[in-house]
Amino acid sequence: MNFIDRHAYDWGAAFARALFPLFPKRRRIAVDNVLKCGITDDPEEADRIARTSWGHLAGHVCEALCVPHVVTKENWREHLDFEGCDPDLVKLILDTPDVPILLVSAHHGVWEAATNVLSFARPMIAIARVMNNRFVANWMKKHHFRGPVTVIDKNHGFTPDVMRQWERDRAAMTILMDQHYSKGLPLTFLGRPAKTFATAAKLAIKTGHPIAIGSFVRIGPYQYRFVGDKPVTFDRDANRADATQLLNDRLAAAIRAYPEQYLWAHKRWR
């Protein structure tokens, strides 16, 4: 690992933390979210968590850009830590390549970098926002920002072709489900009312495929630990709202364990 790769996260995080006061609106949103979610009742501690999480976002992006230089098909398992995880969860994610799975996470931890690393274990399909600027989108693709992963524009939805690819490739369908959706189910997230899209639960109920729920968090340079409980499956007659709330609750537990790595500055609650 060269000097730049080793310190990419530190430089990105330090730069973003220093600039955090220049984004007063985002700072207010982040601090308010931390307090209202009950992470702490101390405004100074809430500000520290908000600033740290802002730095983590930039540091994570910088490190994700360097993942292809550091992680290879020979050493990728060395970069993932499943300490304390349910054995069935570890087996599902790493050692069951013949089963399509859903990987449900949030804007927490190292979602971009972890997707890159997991692509060595099985094909990955990521439902994500594609950059509107074609020059930015091409740059990200050229520099393997999301690695050897099929990125599906979330605005296009789950077309028949996407579903066939998921089944054919036995891929991990990765969904970040902590975004506001005005037409979503009126549920709760981190103890607060939150409109939530039910796509992940809908897919799991329809297909019966298992779901791994949680987050990969950064515990060191290019070292990522999964925080989550045992995998779940839903019967075809499962209630969609109840299933989606379960996913919300599992993600909330992971976020509470590592609050400094959550993107508090985004407008999840409206």
Query: The whole model's pTM is what?
Result: 0.91
Average confidence score pLDDT of the chain: 90
Confidence of residue 150 (pLDDT cuts 50, 70, 90): confident
Q: What is the pLDDT of residue 183?
A: 87
Q: Where are the beta strands (DSSP E) in the chain?
A: 80-81, 101-105, 124-128, 150-153, 172-176, 185-189, 192-196, 211-220, 223-228
Q: What is the pLDDT of residue 45?
A: 98
Q: Distance (Å, rounded) from C-alpha 22 to C-alpha 249?
A: 33
pLDDT at 261 over 90: yes
What is the three-class DSSP state of 159?
coil
Q: Distance (Å, rounded) from C-alpha 205 to C-alpha 208?
A: 5
Buried/exposed code over 56-82 (b: 16+ C-beta within 10 A; e: otherwise) = bbbbbbbbbbbbeebbeeeebeebbbb
Confidence of residue 154 (pLDDT cuts 50, 70, 90): low
Q: Where are the domains of the chain?
A: 76-257
Q: Which two tokens stand for residue 146?
A: 């999301």
